[in-house]
């Protein structure tokens, strides 16, 4: 089994069926980060030891016969705009270089509750304000197909990491093509959902005080290497959770 380029669904099924362990899945993706990140600069924060501890706990939970979520043991990275407990969220902006949220955003909580193993954060445009992913903290993310070219933005690190097998799925944000453009540039799939499908709470910088028009345009959505995985991830992160009163209580 190709642990790196299998779909999220296939990887989760292999872990659930004990064909592979969560630690083995993690190690395969960490190896791809080590192999490619110097060239493409996609992953900017890496919690190697924390991820390994979480993967071991996932394997222990399975051995005990605990109930397993749809992402049990699956490693993943996140765009560096989602607030994460114990991990920096910088949006590529020097004043936020050491910002660590006091809690996970609702999207992150749902991914973790589904069993996902958070590995690290991926590069963005400074304050998400460009169609390439370049900032003073981490520099520029390159396109994996041609490192002389851009991976797009502002979710360029997410798309590039997904393209080369550093993660089986990603979570981006999109107001003006910030998911869709990098996905197209890097040859993966990206979805900007309908507004009010996914909670914007904990998407840093917080859009809560932004004009209504901006909130209508701002969305959180999945990136993946196939449409089925995008549907899986959207089904996990979408829906009301009490943190965002704009969310509609309707099925995905």
Q: How far apart are CA 245 and CA 228, in angstroms?
A: 28
Instruction: Give the dihedral of Cα atoms 12, 17, 22, 23; nearest 10 deg.
Output: -140
Distance of CA 158 to the CA centre of its chain: 7
Beta strand 142-143 with 134-135 is unpaired
**Exactly one of 6, 79, 121, 155 is catalytic; which is it?**
79
**Would residue 213 show up in a list of annotated catalytic residues for this protein?**
no
Give the active site residue among 178, 192, 199, 218: 178
**Cis amide bond preceding 106, omega within 30:** no
Per DSSP bridges, beta strands 75-79 and 117-122 are parallel
79 included as an active-site residue: yes
- Can you read off the two tokens belonging to residue 198? 């996914």
Cα angle 114, 153, 90 (rounded to 5 degrees) comes to 65
Q: Report CA-CA distances (Å) from 12 to 72, 103, 128, 197.
A: 6, 26, 31, 24
Find where tokens 């290497």 sit: 225
Q: How far is CA 11 from CA 1, 5, 108, 120, in A?
A: 9, 9, 19, 19
Residue among 89, 95, 185 at smallest CA distance from 146: 185
Q: Which of 154, 155, 199, 218 is catalytic?
A: 154
Q: Which residues are catalytic?
A: 79, 154, 178
């Amino acid at each position: 089994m190709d642990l790196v380029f299998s779909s999220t669904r296939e990887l989760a099924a292999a872990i659930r069926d004990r064909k592979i362990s969560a630690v083995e899945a993690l190690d395969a993706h960490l190896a791809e980060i080590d192999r490619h990140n110097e060239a493409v600069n996609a992953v900017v924060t890496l919690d190697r030891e924390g991820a390994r501890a979480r993967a071991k706990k996932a394997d222990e939970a399975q051995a005990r016969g605990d109930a397993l979520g749809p992402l049990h043991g699956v490693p993943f990275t996140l765009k560096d705009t989602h607030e994460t407990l114990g991990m920096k969220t910088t949006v590529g902006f020097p004043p936020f270089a050491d910002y660590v949220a006091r809690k996970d955003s609702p999207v992150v909580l749902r991914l973790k509750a589904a069993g996902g193993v958070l590995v690290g954060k991926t590069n963005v445009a400074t304050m998400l304000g460009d169609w390439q992913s370049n900032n003073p903290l981490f520099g520029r993310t390159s396109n994996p197909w041609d490192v002389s070219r851009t991976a797009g933005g502002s979710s360029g690190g997410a798309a590039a990491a997904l393209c080369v097998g550093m993660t089986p799925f990603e979570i981006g944000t999109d107001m003006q093509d910030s998911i869709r453009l990098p996905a197209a540039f890097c040859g993966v799939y990206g979805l900007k959902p309908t507004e009010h499908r996914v909670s914007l709470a904990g998407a840093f910088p917080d859009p809560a005080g932004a004009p209504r028009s901006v909130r209508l345009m701002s969305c959180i959505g999945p990136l993946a290497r196939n449409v089925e995985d995008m549907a899986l991830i959207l089904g996990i992160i979408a829906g009301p959770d009490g943190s965002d009163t704009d969310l509609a209580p309707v099925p995905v």
